[in-house]
Amino acid sequence: MRHGELVFVDTGAWVALALSRDPLHDRARETWEQLVAAGTRFHTSIPVVMDTFTFLDRNTSRPTALRWKHSLSTVPRLRMLPCSLRDLTDAWPYFERADLHKLSVTDAVSFVLMKGRGIRTAFAFDSHFATAGFRMVG
């Protein structure tokens, strides 16, 4: 990791960080600590926050989901990216790619947001990011 690198945090990474029982929790925690130490400039998006909150709310409890949501305010150098109708429109062509089977709308929009801001690295456990041409950490 280069100091101050831009990294996009995906739903899977947030979930793994939030849940100690998640099979990827230890790996996510170790990666997170390395990224923070490297002065990473974190980015995530409103769709990812919605996706993560919904997952935590449905699969754990409302208090767990709310604790995670409140924890975002403590993340150093976190920028929350909005999603516009144009971003959604620009995401649809990803669904025409045969190599992105079972792609979520959240991921497709993430790719558009990342490309638009020059973010080349994703803290993610979803291989779609690598398939779409991004470097993955985690």
Q: Given a cut of 70, is residue 1 above it in pLDDT?
A: no
**pTM of the prediction?**
0.95
List the domain boundaries for the chain: 6-137
Rounded-to-integer distance, Cα 98 and Cα 43, Å: 28
pLDDT (tens digit per residue) in 63-95: 999 999 999 999 989 999 999 999 999 999 999
Residue 58 vs residues 65, 86, 105, 130: alpha-carbon distances, Å: 9, 29, 19, 28
Q: Given a cut of 70, is residue 36 above it in pLDDT?
A: yes
* Dihedral sign (CA 54, 36, 123, 125): negative
The CATH fold of domain 6-137: Rossmann fold (3.40.50)
Residue 57 backbone class (left: φ over 0; alpha: ψ -120 to 50; beta: rest): alpha
Band the pLDDT of 127: cuts 50, 70, 90. Answer: very high
What is the average per-residue pLDDT within 93-100?
96
Q: Among all chains, which residue has been given the structure tokens 């996510």?
A: 28
Q: Given a cut of 80, is residue 2 above it in pLDDT?
A: no
CA-closest candidate to residue 43, choices 31, 35, 34, 54: 35
